[in-house]
Amino acid sequence: VPVLMNLMFIASMLLANHFGWDMGLTLAWTVPVTGVAQFAFTWWAASRVGFALVPSWPKMTPELKHLFIVAAPAVLAGGVIQINLLVGRQVASFTEGAVAWLSYADRLYQLPLGVVGIAIGTVLLPDLSRRLRAGDAQGGRDSFNRGTEFALALTFPAAVALVVIAMPLCAVLFQRGAFGPDDTANTAMALAAYGLGLPAFVFQKVLQPLYYAREDTRRPFRYAVICMVINAAIAIGLMPVIGFVAAALATTLSAWVMVWQLWRGSRGMGPEAQFDDRFRTRSWRIVLAAFAMGVVLFGAMTMLGPMLGTDGLRYLGLALLISAGIVSYFAIGAMIGAFRLSDFKAGLTRKPN
């Protein structure tokens, strides 16, 4: 479904360019069109596997009432996240161009967050719920630990990369036209600040299912409200000191506070919320492999500097830089026992029910 949305946006941009339509207006109209298309595609796909949706007037059954009671705090917690973003943008708006810099940086760190974090959260919640209802504590523990391990293995190196090569990433992807070197430097600073919080954003997706699988949505909502206050205090308090970067840094710090609260609250949940020996053994090796990759990236960035600054070669240079990071991370990680490459294949393979 997300791929369908992206393809429709690409098609709309090509059509706007070909027919001379206003690009902004075309993209704006594409948003509701993609929403209808995604809904239709999901409806059709669900009907193929036996879940045909037949529209009818809703009835307030006991099950639906229970769903509202359980889901309401989770919905409100999602609203807290949007308030945090609004506060950050409002703080940044006092600096000319800062809202744009934060938006560009946000798009880059949302890529690994969307690919890894949302996927893990989507898969982990139903699996944990099924195992807990069946009384399978060991299976729940394995599911939680493998999800955490998978998240750490993919997001920590991404965070290191966003910090180390923030400047060439922003320069190659955005620096053209009215977007000058100063804009690149400011966007890179915001990206590095967001990058420091990337693991926290994903770990939230791993820890929250421990609560949701038990139909405990109130504590995560309470934690989110606390983080909202912390986010606003840091953003407003640091704005006179470090400028617009305070908004990005506040988002990162409040995300880590959220992780700490979720982890601390899960300590009384039993063995399924405990880390096992395999995770403890591999976690520090994953971190070590990511930092080693960061050293490789820094060296490669230095060597590829002339290519990254040449208009005709900068995309190739960025591709080589990213490839160097990917190859070095997986090679070093496999060599020191941080993971086995087959683990990633197993994590991406759909298991039969």
Q: What is the C-alpha separation between 254 and 260, in angstroms, rounded?
A: 10
How open is the CA angle 302-308-311, to the nearest 5 degrees?
Answer: 160
Q: pTM for this structure? A: 0.83
Other CB atoms closer than 10 Å to residue 229's CB: what's the count? 11
Q: What is the C-alpha separation between 305 and 114, in angstroms, rounded?
A: 30
Q: What is the C-alpha separation between 121 and 113, in angstroms, rounded?
A: 11
User: By the 8 A CB rule, do 304 and 320 touch?
Assistant: yes
Domain boundaries, the chain: 1-55, 56-347
User: By the 8 A CB rule, do 203 and 259 touch?
Assistant: yes
Tokens for 138, please give them. Answer: 């060991």
**DSSP-based three-state secondary structure for 339:** coil
Tokens for 48, please give them. Answer: 């193929």
User: By the 8 A CB rule, do 294 and 162 touch?
Assistant: no
Q: What is the C-alpha separation between 205 and 343, in angstroms, rounded?
A: 20
Nearest to 351 by CA among 57, 130, 61, 46: 130
DSSP at 267: G
Tallying the residues shown for the chain, one arrives at 353
Maximum separation of any 2 CA atoms in the chain, in Å: 66
Tokens for 222, please give them. Answer: 């309470």
How open is the CA angle 256-257-261, to the nearest 5 degrees?
Answer: 115
Nearest to 168 by CA among 303, 328, 331: 303
User: By the 8 A CB rule, do 112 and 169 touch?
Assistant: no
Q: What is the C-alpha separation between 157 and 327, in angstroms, rounded?
A: 12
Q: What is the C-alpha separation between 98 and 84, in angstroms, rounded?
A: 16
One-letter amino acid identity for 68? Answer: F
Nearest to 131 by CA among 145, 120, 123, 143: 143
Name the region of 175 (left: φ>0; alpha: ψ -120 to 50; beta: rest): beta
Residue 230, pLDDT score: 94
Residue 139, pLDDT score: 83
Q: What is the pLDDT along the chain (353 residues), one digit of tens a residue?
A: 878 888 999 999 999 999 999 999 999 999 999 999 999 999 999 999 888 888 888 788 888 888 888 888 888 877 777 788 788 888 888 888 889 999 999 888 888 877 777 777 677 777 777 887 777 778 888 888 888 888 899 899 999 999 999 999 999 999 888 899 999 999 999 999 999 999 998 888 888 888 888 888 889 999 999 999 999 999 999 999 989 999 999 999 999 999 999 999 988 887 888 888 999 999 999 999 999 999 999 999 999 988 888 788 889 999 999 999 999 999 999 999 988 877 766 655 555 55
